[in-house]
Amino acid sequence: MNKQVVLGIDIGGTNTVYGLIGQDGHVHHHEEIPTKGSSPVEGLIDRIEASINDILDQNSESELLGIGIGAPNGNHFSGMIQDPPNLSWGNVNVIDLFKDRFNCKVDLTNDANAAALGEKHYGIAKEMTDFVVITLGTGLGSGIFSGGRLLYGHDGFAGEMGHMPIEDDGRDCNCGNKGCLESYASASGIKKTIRTFLDDDPDDEFLNSINGDKVDGFLLDAEFDKGNDIARRIYEYTGNKLGQGLAQAATLLSPQAFIFYGGFSNAGNRILDPAKRSMDRHLINGHAGKIDLLRSGLPQGQAGILGAASLIWAP
């Protein structure tokens, strides 16, 4: 293990990933545990503390330099996780809670910003100054680099692309608004799309078989590859909506690339091809055709912890 390490933590709605990371980006003891977001946050910290102390005891020459955390609704300015969706924690100052246990430097940002930092320092965006990382999972998150800097806005909440309205009086979103990008282009959006398709075609066997609590991305991908027309239409529809949102962001930011990360980004070109066509259709001539849609090259689950660790390694 490297002599000096940083603990990078990526807190998610379902699972939390953490690892000890050297300055070169080498990940030691990468672990994934259930977040258990319906219990108090202290329980999660207890479990991480026990495991990290064990590892540090076994590697007595190693020193914990600091802790970087990415979390849903994590505010870099205040150190608070502010009423995160899917977690019943309310507002918690995680920086103070971790400092009490570990007595080292602790820094926080939101989960999508952490993924963007991971791509910038250790991933596909090393040479880029202007790019947007989009995390596609249950929801849609985004972290924006502009002119070489991560954008935080005046209050720490810049880059909420998932909640850009793309449809007037559209679908209900978890945020309370209507027609947000996330309610179309995410796993929960696809779930809603399946229901909409069923309204038009209530007896379709395949649609009925995939209409459940959870969208099975692997099944959809496999059916798409077999030429299933409904799977193709679902991705086409989702990609179209995604492309509309990308065009809006690109019009403002003129990025070199959008980089996709997260479980549902595994659909890859099945969704990114229609998204690119839709984006270019919605862009002015000066922007169209110049922006790449790329997939993260970092191992699944590692962009978040690497980016979190970079809060300490490259403050």
Q: Which residues bind to Zn ion, rule: CB under 5 A?
A: 163, 173, 175, 177, 180
Cβ at position 162, least distance to Zn ion in Å:
6
CA 118 – CA 115 distance, rounded (Å): 5
Burial of 186 (0-12, 13-18, 19+ CB in 10 A): buried
Cβ at position 249, least distance to Zn ion in Å:
15
- Residue whose structure tokens are 């996709």: 260
Of the candidates 310, 284, 255, 25, the one whose C-alpha atom is nearest the C-alpha of residue 134 is 255
Cβ at position 67, least distance to Zn ion in Å:
30
Cβ at position 16, least distance to Zn ion in Å:
24
Cβ at position 205, least distance to Zn ion in Å:
32
E-strand ranges in the chain read: 4-11, 15-21, 27-34, 63-71, 80-82, 91-93, 105-110, 131-136, 140-146, 149-150, 257-261, 292-295
Of 19 and 162, nearer to Zn ion (C-beta) is 162
3-class SS at 130? coil
Cβ at position 84, least distance to Zn ion in Å:
15
Q: Are strands 149-150 and 257-261 parallel, antiparallel or unpaired?
A: unpaired
Token digits for 175? 């945020």
Of 163 and 276, nearer to Zn ion (C-beta) is 163
Of the candidates 173, 82, 138, the one whose C-alpha atom is nearest the C-alpha of residue 264 is 138
| DSSP string over 38-49 | TS-HHHHHHHHH
What does the longest C-alpha to C-alpha distance in the chain come to? 65
Of 158 and 175, nearer to Zn ion (C-beta) is 175
- Please say whether the beta carbons of 198 and 207 come within 8 A: yes
Cβ at position 261, least distance to Zn ion in Å:
20
Of 102 and 264, nearer to Zn ion (C-beta) is 264
Q: What are phi and psi of 223, to 5 degrees?
A: -65, -40
3-class SS at 174? coil
Of 120 and 163, nearer to Zn ion (C-beta) is 163
Of 175 and 198, nearer to Zn ion (C-beta) is 175
Cβ at position 173, least distance to Zn ion in Å:
3
Of 62 and 238, nearer to Zn ion (C-beta) is 238
